[in-house]
Amino acid sequence: MKKVIRLTESDLRRIVKKVIKESTMAPEPVPTGAWVIGKVYFDEGDYTMSENNKNSFIEGVKRVISPSIDTIHKFYNSEFKLPNMFEINVGTSSTGTADQNSNVGRKRKELMMGVIERALEDFKIKPDTIEQILNAVTTSSYQPSKVDKNFYDVTKIKGNDRERFASLKVRPITTMGLNPDQISAASYKIQSGDVTKSKKVKNEDDIWNLWGWAYDSGYHTEEYTEPNENTIYDGVRALKTYSDVKDINTRLKEARRGGLAKVINDKITDNGKWLDSCYSLKKAFKRSGYSESQVDCRTGKDLYIEF
């Protein structure tokens, strides 16, 4: 025999609220600020730094990433991918064989990686966790000399000192994005109802107007409605990340509004606000590491968003 479960209105509200919270993506890790670059040059075949120089690099890395530690801690082992925080680039000159230069380049990479590890160790992070983090947030490249060894006799060419380098780029990250309640607030604004306005209209068939006497009696007040563009725009501007935009788009589709792009195209008639909305969404995608081109601000006010 089937069991019938009766739900009160408060039960339904609680269930709906729970489903919304579970389906909404949380705030996410995003880059903040510009890249900070440190660079060092080496003697031929060298891949070492003095302790003073190394400590300067370590302290510089710590200053840049210190505000990021809480975000790294929160997301290093989560569904979200940590943004790229470190870029190591090394180069070698034309002196030495390909194998010799490759080995030197590798050692210079290891030197820079050691700098980052030392910086993270000072924040009391476990060694195995540091390795996990660096695998996720570090990229590296090797740039051998541009001299064409198939054409030139490199034994007769002096190596270019500027090609023997190692550079370290560091970028901080932060936690950004709306929580479920903030998403609901933004959704409410974007779905705001039309506003009622009034205007004076001339009574063309009024006898006083026909005689050229434009007294107040020759006018009447008409009411009309138009989209609440300012409130809708405020809701769009509140979206800071890709997750925010995707969450709002899902909610608008579930509310049978057709999605975020349709609401903006249909409701925002002011061309300036429409463009500002487009570029605000582009910034949100960029913050989360997505391509700005996924938000297409087409001519004729035809916004398109690709998820």
Condensed to tens digits (0 to 9), the pLDDT of residues 216-262 reads 556 777 777 888 899 999 999 999 999 999 999 999 999 999 999 99
- What H or E segment, with its residue span, contains residue 88? strand 86-91
Domain boundary assignment for the chain: 28-176, 180-193+228-305, 194-227
Q: Phi first, then psi: give them for residue 218, nearest 5 degrees.
A: -85, 10
CB 253 within 8 A of CB 307: no
* Cα dihedral across residues 203, 206, 209, 215: positive or negative: negative
For residues 203 and 219, what is the distance between their CA atoms, to the nearest angstrom?
A: 5
Residue 17: pLDDT over 90: no
Q: Phi first, then psi: give them for residue 170, nearest 5 degrees.
A: -125, 135
Q: Given this model, what pLDDT does residue 9 score?
A: 56
Q: Which numeric CATH code is attached to 28-176?
A: 3.30.1330.60
Q: Given this model, what pLDDT does residue 156 score?
A: 84
